[in-house]
Amino acid sequence: MVPGQYYLVLSAAVFCIGIFGLLTRKNALLFLMSVELMLNAANINLVAFSYYWGNVTGQTFGLFTMALAAAEVAVGIGIILVLYRNFDGVDVTKATTMRW
């Protein structure tokens, strides 16, 4: 069987890829995808620990998180749509009206 650390390393790797995407991209859609990656990194952790301790509660939480993520994507895409309409594009660095 696969040792527990491997899952954690995988989770950390996925999380870092998400952060990297968040920090380097300008496209709002890519932003959303990066956030999804980070969310799934957390999900992997939940499932891995659940498996490790032999307790299904964590896996149930994983299912809930997926459902929430789906809902969140709907909201996120809605926001991107509005962004597109108001700023003629999906470049997040262009939408800077909420500043001091």
Partner 1 sequence: MAGILEFAPAIVLLPFLSFLIALGAGRYMPKGGALAGIGATAGSFVLAVATFFAVSGGQTYNQTIYTWAEGLDAVNLTFGLLIDPLSAMMLVIVTLIAFLVHVFSLGYMNDEGETGLPRYYAALGLFSASMLGFVVSDNLLMAFMFFELVGLCSYLLIGFWFRQDGPPSAAKKAFLVTRFGDYFFLIGVVAVFATFGSAAFAGPDAFPVLAEEALHGEHSVNTFLGMGEEAWFTVVGLLVLGGVVGKSAQFPLHTWLPDAMEGPTPVSALIHAATMVAAGVYLVARMYGFYALTPTTLAIIALIGGFTALFAATMGVVKKEIKQVLAYSTISQYGYMMLGLGAGGYVAATFHLMTHAFFKALLFLGAGSVIIAMHHNENMWDMGGLKDKMPVTYYAFLSGSLALAGIVPFAGFWSKDEVLYETLIHGLGGSPILLAAYAMGLLAVFFTGFYTFRMVFLTFHGEPRTETARNPHGVRWNVKAPLAVLGVLAATAGFVNMVPVEKLLGIKGIDFLHQFLDGSFSSLNAHHYAEILPYSSSYIGGEATTVAIGAGVSLGLALAGAALAYVLYNVPEPVEHTEKLGSIKTVLYNNYYQDEYQVWIATSVVQPISRVLDKFDQGIVDGVVNGISSVSLFAGSRMKRIQTGVVSNYAALLTLGLTALLLGLGLIGGWFA
In the complex, which residues of this chain contact partner 1 (CB under 8 A)? 19, 22-23, 26, 31, 92-93, 95-100
Q: Which of 84, 19, 71 is nearest to 92 (CA)?
A: 84
Cα dihedral 24, 28, 33, 38, rounded to 10, equals: 60
Rg (CA), the chain: 17
Q: How far is the CB of 5 from partner 1 (least distance, A)?
A: 16
Q: How far is the CB of 15 from partner 1 (least distance, A)?
A: 10
Question: Nearer Cβ to partner 1, position 56 or 79?
Answer: 79
Q: How far is the CB of 78 from partner 1 (least distance, A)?
A: 16
